[in-house]
């Protein structure tokens, strides 16, 4: 694509942001304003018009999904091979850099990367060792992550006391945790950022090397940066260098992960001479939805002024329905989805139901099941978090890094080898005394006959498997995985479903470099899961960021739910709750529903609820207000456990059928009993037809 073509498909604001390439630039990109398009086009423009080598542009995103999309867009725009480009998440690009440069910090370049599950496993192990309450592991992990994202190491935490909410037990665990990571030659997610910053501080010549390499820096979702990420950008981009950051303070919703919206506000101060531009045209939603969203977000006291507008003037009013309880709310959502679906205008995957806290999904799931509506929960257990997948990956990490104690503990008895807890505890103590890895101690004990013959045989078999695998050169990750499942005996100890998941894992790594695969899987998040076809999406408001749907329901618009009760005493947190609501609203393209209930079960007890304060900010003319404080008589499917039985139908909603006259259609609904059973089918060229099943002559395909 030529330079002129790159500019033609952009609006004036986008074009101005693309053409500004000298010095720092802050692009305030409102929801749905095409910011990803601008970032990708700017990358392509730097390649095509400015003749920058792809390897000289550092482009940082927050999810693997976003970085993959950016790569694909740049490739389609330029037609150039950008294989050596630095496009990726903050974590993946820091990992890439540390793989080359980490030795001055006392780590080897074959370090393992621990995900959240691995981190929690190690912390639980340490809590057991210290005889601390093991159930606290999640809170401890979150606190350590918070300290690390603020670049506060265990020594600084110990020395500064109450300034960082000092807790003696936490300090003890943090110190041991970091020591164990180093002993395992392992890094957690936060280390990837923190150690890169530390490396640049301790080795200014390495910082200068990368400052010279990166002639241009592009940052997407800038409002989500934490202190460590912002510090990294200042290290690489200060001094009037070419850096463009794209974000929206109105969409900063990850404070609980360390994100600091103030990074948006301090950019102009920390990058002198920075130019500020705004992208305000929304390409997603109708103007009525945007008017409602703006009415809410504009009440936040601290924000960069901007106002969304859309070429899609008007649109349906936003709907608000107040119901008797959460069960009634859920039935209302399910019925509304089914009615819109049966009209033939929307498929099930066009709908999203958003909520503030996960426990809200239960009643919605029940109501959708009652209506036979397919759904999936976004952010549920990831494929890569399944036990069998984690086990195989742990084997791979141990083969590459025998110092990885967490991976060894995971697989030493997978499949079961009869290696007891007492034996492992003895080896653990020996490893600590000698400052060695578990693998080294076990191998030495086997060679020196330091254990009984029965134990020796079990340990020896495990050591032989790992050393045999480590002695071979593998061209791809799939080759190593095939050897692992065969030589470890793992395949024989799993059921059919788990075996199929292992085969899927192997298939996904075909022709993939071993180290690249391990790093990609370690850095995978639930947000990177592919979307499910033909089903309603259920997710938290936090999980909805970056997505869009024709029809959106935001449930639980009540004080204490949205805004969340823990935020009510802090104005900054109430502002973030308002931003969270704004993000949810701006996911909707055509239809937006708000629902709330007079009574809801929260944390094991029923509570009377009041409408959310945010609803008072919505102009009455923009919203259709519906109140159903009494539970209406709703015709609905019988719940499991009832004496009544649902009639059996040969078809289900969503299946495809062929009619002798009208061709192929999609079943929308089945209803009626006995010989009066009817089916509603949508034929693309004919429309919706209601047919008596016994006369319809339908063929299921």
Q: pLDDT tens-digit profile of 542-572?
A: 999 989 999 999 999 999 999 999 898 899 9
Beta-carbon neighbour count of residue 389 at 10 Å?
18
Q: Is the pLDDT of residue 643 over 60?
A: no
User: What distance in Å separates the CA atoms of residue 397 and residue 469, rounded to the nearest whole number?
Assistant: 11
Beta bridge partners of 340: none
pLDDT tens-digit readout, 651-691: 777 778 888 888 888 887 777 767 778 888 888 777 788 88
Rounding to the nearest 10 degrees, give the CA dihedral for residues 226, 114, 67, 253.
-30
CB 189 within 8 A of CB 146: no
Instruction: Provide φ and ψ at 297, rounded to 5°.
Output: -70, -30
Q: Is 683 helix (H, G, I), strand (E, B) or coil?
A: strand
Q: What is the chain's mean pLDDT, rounded? A: 89
CA separation for the pair 339, 16 (Å, rounded): 44
In this prediction, residue 497 carries a pLDDT of 84
Q: Tens of pLDDT along 389-415?
A: 999 999 999 999 999 999 999 999 999
Q: In this model, does residue 24 exceed pLDDT 70? A: yes
- Residues 501, 505, 511: CA angle, nearest 5 degrees: 155
The pLDDT score that the predictor gives to residue 664 is 87
Q: What is the mean pLDDT of residues 500-528?
A: 83
Q: What are the tens digits of pLDDT across the range 372-393?
A: 999 999 876 677 888 999 999 9
Higher pLDDT, 529 or 173: 173
Long-range contacts, 503-510 (Cβ 8 Å, 24+): 504/383, 505/383, 505/389, 505/392, 505/481, 506/478, 506/481, 506/482, 507/478, 509/476, 509/477, 509/478, 509/481, 510/476, 510/478
The pLDDT value recorded for residue 527 is: 59
pLDDT for position 644: 39
Measured CA to CA, the distance from residue 26 to residue 35 in angstroms comes to: 12
SS3 assignment, position 65: helix
pTM exceeds 0.85 for this model: no
Query: What does the pLDDT average to over 333-351?
Result: 93
Q: Which two tokens stand for residue 357?
A: 């806290």
Task: Tell me the per-residue pLDDT of 588-625, one tens digit each, with 9 for 90 and over.
Answer: 999 999 999 999 988 778 889 999 999 999 988 888 88
Q: Which residues, other chains included, contact 118 with Cβ-Cβ below 8 Å and sequence gap of 6+? A: 186, 188, 406, 407
Strand positions, DSSP E, 603-647? 605-608, 623-628
Q: pLDDT tens for residues 282-294?
A: 999 999 999 999 9
pLDDT band at 486 (very low <50, low <70, confident <90, very high): very high
Active-site residue list:
35-36, 220-221, 251, 587
Lowest pLDDT segment from 32-46, 304-318, 627-641? 627-641
Look at residue 677 in the predicted model and tell me its pLDDT. Answer: 82
DSSP type of residue 234: H
Count other C-beta atoms under 10 Å from residue 167's C-beta. 14
State yes or no: pLDDT of 87 exceeds 50.
yes
CATH T-level assignment (fold) for domain 288-381+530-628: Rossmann fold (3.40.50)
Structure tokens at 480: 């190593």
Confidence of residue 528 (pLDDT cuts 50, 70, 90): low
- Per residue in 149-172, pLDDT tens? 999 999 888 876 544 455 888 999
Q: Which residues contact 228 (CB under 8 A, 6 or more apart)?
A: 148, 149, 150, 151, 190, 193, 194, 197, 258
pLDDT of residue 106: 94
**CATH assignment of 387-518, given 1.10.486.10, 3.90.1150.10, 1.20.900.10, 3.40.640.10?**
1.10.486.10
* Topology given in CATH for the domain delimited by 112-184: Arc Repressor Mutant, subunit A (1.10.10)
Domain 3-100+194-282 grouped into CATH 1.10.150.120: no
Residue linked to tokens 């936090």 = 542
Mean pLDDT, residues 306-332 = 92
Per cent of the chain over pLDDT 70 is: 94
User: SS3 for 155?
Assistant: helix
Comparing 446 with 177, the larger pLDDT belongs to 177
pLDDT of the residue at 668: 78
Provide the 3-class DSSP secondary structure of residue 281: strand
């Amino acid at each position: 694509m030529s330079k002129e073509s790159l500019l033609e498909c952009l609006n004036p604001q986008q074009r101005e942001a693309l053409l500004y390439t000298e010095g720092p630039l802050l692009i305030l990109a409102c929801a749905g304003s095409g910011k990803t398009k601008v970032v990708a086009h700017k990358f392509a423009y730097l390649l095509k018009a400015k003749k920058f080598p792809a390897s000289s542009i550092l482009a940082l995103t927050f999810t693997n999904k976003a970085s993959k999309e950016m790569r694909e867009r740049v490739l389609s725009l330029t037609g150039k091979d950008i294989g050596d480009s630095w496009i990726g998440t903050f974590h993946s690009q820091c990992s890439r850099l540390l793989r080359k440069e980490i030795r001055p910090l006392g780590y080897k370049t074959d370090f393992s990367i621990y995900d959240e599950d691995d981190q929690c496993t190690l912390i639980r192990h340490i809590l057991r060792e210290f005889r601390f309450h093991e159930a606290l592991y999640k809170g401890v992990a979150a606190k350590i992550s918070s300290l690390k994202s603020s670049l506060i190491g265990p020594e600084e935490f110990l020395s500064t006391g109450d300034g960082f909410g000092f807790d003696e037990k936490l300090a003890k665990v943090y110190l041991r945790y970091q020591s164990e990571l180093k002993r395992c030659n392992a890094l957690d997610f936060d280390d990837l950022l923190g150690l890169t910053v530390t490396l640049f501080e301790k080795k200014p010549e390495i910082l200068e090397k990368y400052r010279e390499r990166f002639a241009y820096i592009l940052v997407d979702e800038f409002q989500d940066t934490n202190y460590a990420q912002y510090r990294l950008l200042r290290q690489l981009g200060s001094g009037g260098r070419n850096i463009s950051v794209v974000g929206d303070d109105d969409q900063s919703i990850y404070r609980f992960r360390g994100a600091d919206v103030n990074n948006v506000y301090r950019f102009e101060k920390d990058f002198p001479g920075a130019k500020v531009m705004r992208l305000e045209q929304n390409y997603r939603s109708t103007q009525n939805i945007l008017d409602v969203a703006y009415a809410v977000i504009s009440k936040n006291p601290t924000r960069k002024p901007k106002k969304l507008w859309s070429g899609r003037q008007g649109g349906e009013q936003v709907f608000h329905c107040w119901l008797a309880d959460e069960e009634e709310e859920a039935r209302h959502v399910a019925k509304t989805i089914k009615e819109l679906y049966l009209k033939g205008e929307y498929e099930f995957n066009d709908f999203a139901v958003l909520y503030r806290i996960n426990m809200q999904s239960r009643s919605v799931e029940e109501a959708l099941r009652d209506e036979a509506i397919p759904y999936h929960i976004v952010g549920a257990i990831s494929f890569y978090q399944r036990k069998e997948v984690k086990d195989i990956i742990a084997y791979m990490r141990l083969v590459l890094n025998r110092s990885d104690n967490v991976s060894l503990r995971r697989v030493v008895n997978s499949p079961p080898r009869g290696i007891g807890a007492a034996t492992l505890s003895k080896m653990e103590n020996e490893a600590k005394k000698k400052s060695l890895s578990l693998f080294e101690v076990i191998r030495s004990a086997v060679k020196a006959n330091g254990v009984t013959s029965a134990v020796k045989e079990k340990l020896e078999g495990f050591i032989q498997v790992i050393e045999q695998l480590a002695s071979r050169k593998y061209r791809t990750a799939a080759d190593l995985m095939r050897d692992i499942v065969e030589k470890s005996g793992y395949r024989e100890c799993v059921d059919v479903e788990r075996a199929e998941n292992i085969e899927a894992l192997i298939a996904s790594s075909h022709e993939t470099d071993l180290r690249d695969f391990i790093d990609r899987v370690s850095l995978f998040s639930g947000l990177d899961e592919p979307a499910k076809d033909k089903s309603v999406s259920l997710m938290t408001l936090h999980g909805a960021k970056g997505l869009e749907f024709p029809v959106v329901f935001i449930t639980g618009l009540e004080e204490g739910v949205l805004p969340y009760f823990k935020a009510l005493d802090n104005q900054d947190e109430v502002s973030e709750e308002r931003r969270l609501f704004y993000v949810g609203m701006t996911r909707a393209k055509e239809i937006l529903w708000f629902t709330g209930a007079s009574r809801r079960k929260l944390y094991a007890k029923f509570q009377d609820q009041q409408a959310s304060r945010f609803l008072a900010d919505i102009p009455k003319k923009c919203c259709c207000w519906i109140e159903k404080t009494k539970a209406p008589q709703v015709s609905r499917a019988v719940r499991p456990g009832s004496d009544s039985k649902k009639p059996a139908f040969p078809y289900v909603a969503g299946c495809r059928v062929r009619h002798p006259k009208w061709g192929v259609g999609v079943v929308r609904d089945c209803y009626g009993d006995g010989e009066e059973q009817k089916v509603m089918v949508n034929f693309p060229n004919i429309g919706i037809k209601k047919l008596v099943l016994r006369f319809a002559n339908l063929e299921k395909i």
